[in-house]
Structure 1
Amino acid sequence: MSSDATPVPYTDPLSFGQRVQLLRTRRGMSRVVLAGLVGRSSSWVKQVERGEIQTPKLGMILRIAEALRVRDLSELTGDQSSLPVGLFVGPGHERLPAVAAVINAFPSWGAGDREASPAAHLRARVARAWAARHSAPNHRDVLGALLPALIQDAQLAVRQAESGAQRRAAQSVLAEVYALAQFFLAYQPEPALLWRVTERGMMAAQESGDPHAIGVAAWLAAQAHRDSGPAHYEAADAVVSDTLRYLEPLLPGAATPVLAITGALRFEAAYTAARRGDAGTAWGHWDKAREVADRLPGGYYHPVTSFSRPVMGAHAVTVAVELRAGGEAVRQAAAADASVIPSRPRRARHRIEQARGYRLDGQMEAALATLESAFEAAPETIRYNGYARGIVLEGTEAKSPDRRRRAAALAVRIGILAA
């Protein structure tokens, strides 16, 4: 999901260190936590903030940007011409204006509405949209083309529902359409729009009374909170724990999708704990998620979260990476089989997590090679992923000419450097 993209209103001149301190405190992050995230000591961070040591090289600046989740490197450097690259917010998809227009439009309640499609018909369209997303290399383009009509039609179905049962069914479909929209809006330069859709999805799911819809909406809301920074980790945990308390009593005899979304929520708890640096809690939640995955049918793959047996290996890589354990991340990457992940964007995301692990372990050549594989699987996943963009840019400043050329070629392919 995108980070809080509101620029910090600095008054120049401020040093690099002062900017780091302001952004760190704004995030509610201690020096100890920032130091752990960038692989240095808290005293080193203190020296940087006080200006007692020189501004770090680009590679370390990118790591600090990643840890603080700033919108643009200029927020750290103060130089508007020094790589104004939105690391965690993509450049904006060409279909974003059309999707935003439908989301922002106030739905008409007039009598001139056309007849709404039945909820079952809409649900079939949503299922086809998920399938198309998983199979398409340019999945945002696919979703961006489908979403305007899907959003309008799902809203219309809710408005025209004639009974409580029809309305609940329509709200369940609408909640899933908003989930599709959240996948499209992730890493786009519209954080307010993302939150608007997140909240609407939660409301539609609650109105539906559908346990699966409620679980999916909570899963997405937890990600939105977590990606807003350390000050919001508790909110992410609260969403997950409250929803698990609701879902877990329903599991005996529950349909497979409800079981799967419960496992996906368990992993979200692991993810947040890992980002907090709590290894024991993170791996404990991962173990519980794996127990749920083992109860799923062998070939099952949850259409929204990708939760399944095969994806647990990829999830293990993510936990290790977020814990900044490079060696463990590489070990988990070697054990995980990406080829069994059927979703192209999820497979690309796994490759990006592998690349992060290689970078943490000092294996930059392997990191770049893995990102090339991610590009082949789903170009739009790497193009809009801040971690991938950061690793590629770091590679363009490498001492090795071969590595610089390789990174520059990839940077051109994903659109962050001109040809």
Structure 2
Amino acid sequence: MKPTGRDVDPLDRAFGQRVQRHRKERGRTQAELAASLGKTSSWLSQVERGVQPVQRMDLLQQIADELGVSVQQLRPDAGGSDSASRTPTAQTLSNDLDETRRLLSGHPALGTVLTPPEEDGAPPSLDSLSSDVDDLWELTHAGQLAQVSELAVQLLPLLERAVRVSPGNQQAALYLLLSRAYQALSAAFVRQDEADAAWVAADRAVFAAERSSNPLHVCASVFRMVQAFVRLRSLGQAEHAAQTAIRALEEQRSDSPEALSVLGSLHLALALVRARAGGRTEAKEQISKAREIAAQIGANRNDFNLEFGPANVEIQAVSTAVDLGDAGEALDIGLGIDAVELSAERQGRLLMDLGRAHAQRRQGGEALECLLRAEAIAPEMIQTHQAARGAIRELVLVAGPSASRELLELADRADALD
């Protein structure tokens, strides 16, 4: 329940006043800022008056990004114990990767740099570390982000130490494991909508891949960086990164399935960039190029954990069509995809985008069914993906008083009505 005018929380009132001050300093109207957030002017007015609390961390971050300030400048209590006690649901959603984020901020290599090797014992075996990195990727694909964080906090310092103290003949293999671990974390941070951390992880993945002398892993790491740039809405940087890697791969002219998987994935990433920029023709051109590469490979693969292949290209084609507002095309493509052999994340993404397409066509029942199936397969996607919450919010608004209990419960679980 929202507070009445007589019992507005002082913290919410102070937060709203800060939002209003920063908005006015930047010469933006309530309507402009609300539109950039995907909200109404009425909602933002209530926020600035303290009547509408903003408790979800990703929404706090989005407001801060739009105003060009930090979350702490808007809400100094955002990381404190009072915040945790007031908003347990928001904390649960935002903290899955917090320990890993803190580890990245301090850099897990520092302990090794400052501790003589002989004082810290021998590092784990190469086989043991390889098994742990495989587990990290399995957890990432399964969307078990809390477990990803728990394993990463233990694994990254071990890998950073191993590449510095192990024999020279193991260096390349260890740097490759380190790159794979950072790639997994970048993918996990993108799923949690923490794009700045995803960028840091991807950058470290690129560096480690270079040291491993594996150019394909360098390009796979660049793919992760492109995903982070898209979430940061830095489309120019995303475009440049993707194009640079594509040109480098095309110059190699390799027709190995591994090289083609990376090249095709980068074309899909570039399609996403073009779609977000409103380039309908350009986005579809990139999808067509990816289709040609997938047909050349002829099967769904998981080289570099990219899950590239014919099915994944069509899943991306659905997502691109929805982003461009082509709901009918998205449904025509999506209903013919067999994604049963793909990861839970890919299956959930397809169902989420089909739900968005049905929502665009005002087919509320079909949209709800797809979104519920997506939640059953990949629940964190519904909780953290802005597009999913936007579709749910739209369904509730369109349904009005006749919104079903199932829809309202889904909106509550996704915090879609904040």
TM class by shorter chain equals 0.7 to 0.9
Q: Could you tell me which residue of structure 1 aligns to residue 3 of structure 2?
A: none
1:236 is matched with which residue: 218, 235, 238? 238
Q: Per-residue deviation at 1:77?
A: 5.5
Write out per-residue CA displacement over residues 188-207 of structure 1, whole angstroms, 9 at most, x where no aligned residue.
Answer: 47554333223222222223
Q: Is the contact made by 1:330 and 1:361 (CA closer than 8 Å) also made in structure 2?
A: no
Q: Which amino acid aligns with 1:410?
A: L
Please, what TM-score do these two structures have when normalized by structure 1? 0.76
1:412/1:302 Cα in 2 relative to 1: closer, same or farther (>3 Å)? farther
Instruction: Give the match's secondary structure for 1:239.
Output: helix
* Alpha-carbon distance in structure 1 between the residues aligned to 2:201 and 2:219: 16
Instruction: Give the match's secondary structure for 2:297.
Output: coil
1:119/1:76 Cα in 2 relative to 1: closer, same or farther (>3 Å)? farther
* Alpha-carbon distance in structure 1 between the residues aligned to 2:220 and 2:377: 25
Instruction: Give the match's secondary structure for 2:272.
Output: helix
Structure 1 unaligned regions, length at least 5? 1-6, 24-60
1:390/1:349 Cα in 2 relative to 1: closer, same or farther (>3 Å)? same
1:278/1:101 Cα in 2 relative to 1: closer, same or farther (>3 Å)? closer
Query: How is 1:28-177 mapped onto 2 (pairs within 5 angstroms)?
Result: 65-66=37-38, 74=44, 78-82=48-52, 84=54, 85=56, 86-87=58-59, 92-105=93-106, 106-109=110-113, 110-111=115-116, 112-134=119-141, 136=142, 138-163=143-168, 166-177=170-181
1:79/1:177 Cα in 2 relative to 1: closer, same or farther (>3 Å)? farther
* Alpha-carbon distance in structure 2 between the residues aligned to 1:277 and 1:151: 39
Please, what TM-score do these two structures have when normalized by structure 2? 0.76
Instruction: Give the match's secondary structure for 2:149.
Output: helix
Q: Is the contact made by 1:131 and 1:303 (CA closer than 8 Å) also made in structure 2?
A: no
Q: Could you tell me which residue of structure 1 aligns to residue 397 of structure 2?
A: 397
* Alpha-carbon distance in structure 2 between the residues aligned to 1:326 and 1:76: 33
Instruction: Give the match's secondary structure for 1:397.
Output: helix
Q: Is the contact made by 1:354 and 1:367 (CA closer than 8 Å) also made in structure 2?
A: yes
Q: Per-residue deviation at 1:218?
A: 0.5
Higher relative contact order (CA 8 A, sep 6+): 1
* Alpha-carbon distance in structure 2 between the residues aligned to 1:252 and 1:367: 42
Write out per-residue CA displacement over residues 235-292 of structure 1, whole angstroms, 9 at most, x where no aligned residue.
Answer: 11111111112222335353x3332111100111111111111122111111111111
Q: Per-residue deviation at 1:396?
A: 3.2
Q: Is the contact made by 1:286 and 1:316 (CA closer than 8 Å) also made in structure 2?
A: yes
1:305/1:66 Cα in 2 relative to 1: closer, same or farther (>3 Å)? farther
Q: Per-residue deviation at 1:372?
A: 0.2
* Alpha-carbon distance in structure 2 between the residues aligned to 1:313 and 1:189: 23
Q: Could you tell me which residue of structure 1 aligns to residue 291 of structure 2?
A: 290
Structure 2 unaligned regions, length at least 5? 1-16, 63-89
Output the aligned Cα RMSD.
Answer: 3.3
* Alpha-carbon distance in structure 2 between the residues aligned to 1:119 and 1:356: 44
Instruction: Give the match's secondary structure for 1:186.
Output: helix
Instruction: Give the match's secondary structure for 2:397.
Output: coil
Q: Could you tell me which residue of structure 1 aligns to residue 250 of structure 2?
A: 248
How many aligned residue pairs are there? Answer: 362
Q: Per-residue deviation at 1:335?
A: 2.7
Query: How is 1:162-311 mapped onto 2 (pairs within 5 angstroms)?
Result: 162-163=167-168, 166-186=170-190, 188=192, 191-229=195-233, 232-252=234-254, 254=256, 256-296=257-297, 298-302=299-303, 304-311=305-312
* Alpha-carbon distance in structure 1 between the residues aligned to 2:170 and 2:286: 37
1:371 aligns with 2:342: no
Q: Could you tell me which residue of structure 1 aligns to residue 72 of structure 2?
A: none
Instruction: Give the match's secondary structure for 1:390.
Output: helix
1:329/1:253 Cα in 2 relative to 1: closer, same or farther (>3 Å)? closer
Write out per-residue CA displacement over residues 110-136 of structure 1, whole angstroms, 9 at most, x where no aligned residue.
Answer: 1223322344542332223323443x4
